[in-house]
Every structure is written in C-alpha cells, then in structure tokens.
Amino acid sequence: MRIDIVSLFPEFVAQCAAFGVVGRAQERALLSLHGWNPRDYATGNYRRVDDRPFGGGPGMVMLIDPLRDALNAARAADPADARVVYLTPQGTRLTQAKVRELAAHPRLVLLCGRYEGVDERLIEAEVDEELSIGDYVLSGGELAAAVLVDAVARLQEGALNDAESAAQDSFESDGLLDCPHYTRPLEHPLGQVPEVLLSGNHAQIARWRRMESLGRTWLRRPDLLDEAALGKADRALLEA
Ligand code: ADE
C-alpha cells in the first residue's frame, strides 16, 4: 500500500511511522510513505501557504493553489487511483470498520490542514472523504494522519508477526472491547492471575474471556453493544 502525506510537516508523520509494526511494514515493503509539502509549491518571495479569512475573524486559512499543486504532484507520482482523505475535526469519526475499508485501498493521499483550516473550495473539489480521529481539536492534521497510517499499516497482510493478534483486538472481530491479559510471573505483589487461565480448559478460558469482554464493554462503552455482533448466549449473559 502507498500513502502520500500532503502536509507542512510531512517529516512529522514519517517519524511517527518509523517505529514498531509500522516501521517494520515499511521495511517489508508492505507500506510506502511519501511526503509532499505545499510550501514547495508556494510562489512569491514569502512562499505563502495561508492568508486571512474572508469575512474576518481569527486565524489563517490555507491557500488553495499550493495545496492543490502538492496534491496533484502526489497523484501524478503513481498511476494507482488514490483516495484523498482530509483529516479534520469536522470529519466523520474514524472507526475500525473505516480503517479496514481504507486499508484495502492500494493508495491513499492524506491531506493535513494547519491553522484554522483549508479553503472550502479545495475540499469540495479534491477531497473524497473527511475524517476525524475524535471529538477534540488538534493543532493540525498530522497526528491524525499518523494515527490513520498506523491503523491501516498493521492490517496489511504480513505486517503483524502473529496474524491472530489483529483478529482478537478490541473492535476487530465482533465490536467488543478486548479482555484483560496476564503473563509471568504468576505470583506478584500486585495481584493474582485469574485461576481459569491456568486451568488448561480451553472452552472455559474462551467463555471467561468472552464474559470479560462483554462486561467491560457494558461498563465502559455501552454504546458499542448496539453495534456489536452478539450471539444468543451473549444476550442471555447481558440480560441476566
Ligand atoms: N485536525 C485537528 N483536529 C483533528 C481531529 N480531531 N481529527 C482529525 N484531524 C484533526
């Protein structure tokens, strides 16, 4: 998969993607990242990339042309059709289902805004989709782009060493939160490992994990239960 980042700080996203699973995905050529800086496409002595908003008010708005030229350069760099995603708090909320959908595209172009935003005409003309990573405001789209790069990179075939671990993540298989995990040492001043995990009884362990997942989701994120793929047995547990 190829991801192009259009940003005033493309190195920032590249740094975030240099470590761990995402760094390894790049080493394994499962992911290639390319940065495009609108400042390189700005003209005039000052290479302006922003200006004051029409109608007045605080902050600056990013100019159409440097962004558009950077976007077009990114598009032209590879023949594969790219989906252009603008990271903005005004976008629809990123979910694991959306991550999965985007991870299946051969190519994404991520547009990161700074300042108050981007001229709306550029968004209308060039952007396929606007996404937000949550209901809070960051100082730019770069961190959001790094989040998206991480989430799609780890879903590329061969990115995770244990292919199972993706399937068992929170949200991934059935929309529930993950169960708790324990490892050695068995005895520790901070507490006990639940007995059932030592029993060797795989059916019981699976049942315990399912109950923990359901319980956590019910307590922490009851909103997810409406969407989760629950079976009859799950419903009985929740309604008991
Ligand atoms: N840019 C600024 N805040 C953002 C957010 N919450 N999600 C995506 N992009 C952003």
What are the pLDDT digits (tens) for 132-150?
999 999 999 999 999 999 9
Residues 131 and 183 placed together within one structural domain of the fold: no
pLDDT of residue 131: 98
User: For 42-51, what is the mean pLDDT?
Assistant: 96
User: For 37-44, what is the mean pLDDT?
Assistant: 97
Distance 88 CA to ligand 1 centre (A): 4
In a domain, residue 119? The reply is yes
Is residue 89 lining ligand 1, measured as CB closer than 6 Å? Answer: yes
Q: Are 38 and 62 spatial neighbours (Cβ–Cβ below 8 Å)?
A: yes
- Give the confidence band of 238 by pLDDT, cuts at 50, 70, 90: confident
pLDDT of residue 230: 85
User: For 195-204, what is the mean pLDDT?
Assistant: 98
- C-alpha of 233 from chain center: 32
Domain boundary residue, one of 95, 125, 153: 153
CA angle at residue 210 from 206 to 215, to 5 degrees? 150
The atom of ligand 1 lying closest to the CA of 88 is 9
d(CA 216, CA 234): 13
- Give the confidence band of 163 by pLDDT, cuts at 50, 70, 90: low
Domain boundary residue, one of 153, 188, 212: 153
Residues 98 and 176 placed together within one structural domain of the fold: no
Residues 79 and 190 placed together within one structural domain of the fold: no
pLDDT of residue 236: 79
Number of domains, the chain: 2
Residues 47 and 125 placed together within one structural domain of the fold: yes
The three state secondary structure string of the chain is CEEEEECCCHHHHHHHCCCHHHHHHHHCCCCEEEEECHHHHCCCCCCCCEECCCCCCCCCEECHHHHHHHHHHHHHCCCCCCEEEEEEEEEEECCHHHHHHHHCCCEEEEEECECCEECHHHHHHHCCEEEECCCCCCCECHHHHHHHHHHHHCCCCCCCCCHHHHHHCCCCCCCCCCCCCCCCCCCECCECCCHHHHCCCHHHHHHHHHHHHHHHHHHHCHHHHHHCCCCHHHHHHHHC
- Domain carrying residue 185: 170-239
Residues 144 and 188 placed together within one structural domain of the fold: no
Q: Which of 88, 98, 130 to mutate to test the pocket of ligand 1 (most atoms within 8 A of CB)?
A: 88
Residues 233 and 119 placed together within one structural domain of the fold: no
Residues 103 and 204 placed together within one structural domain of the fold: no
The atom of ligand 1 lying closest to the CA of 135 is 6
- Give the confidence band of 239 by pLDDT, cuts at 50, 70, 90: confident
For the chain, what percent of residues have pLDDT higher than 70? 95
pLDDT above 80 for 54: yes
pLDDT of residue 20: 95
Q: What is the CATH number of the domain that holds 97?
A: 3.40.1280.10
Residues 141 and 188 placed together within one structural domain of the fold: no
Residues 102 and 195 placed together within one structural domain of the fold: no
pLDDT above 60 for 16: yes
pLDDT above 80 for 210: yes
In a domain, residue 165? The reply is no
**pTM assigned to the model:** 0.92
Q: What is the CATH number of the domain that holds 199?
A: 1.10.1270.20
Q: Is the peptide bond before 185 cis (omega within 30 degrees of 0)?
A: yes
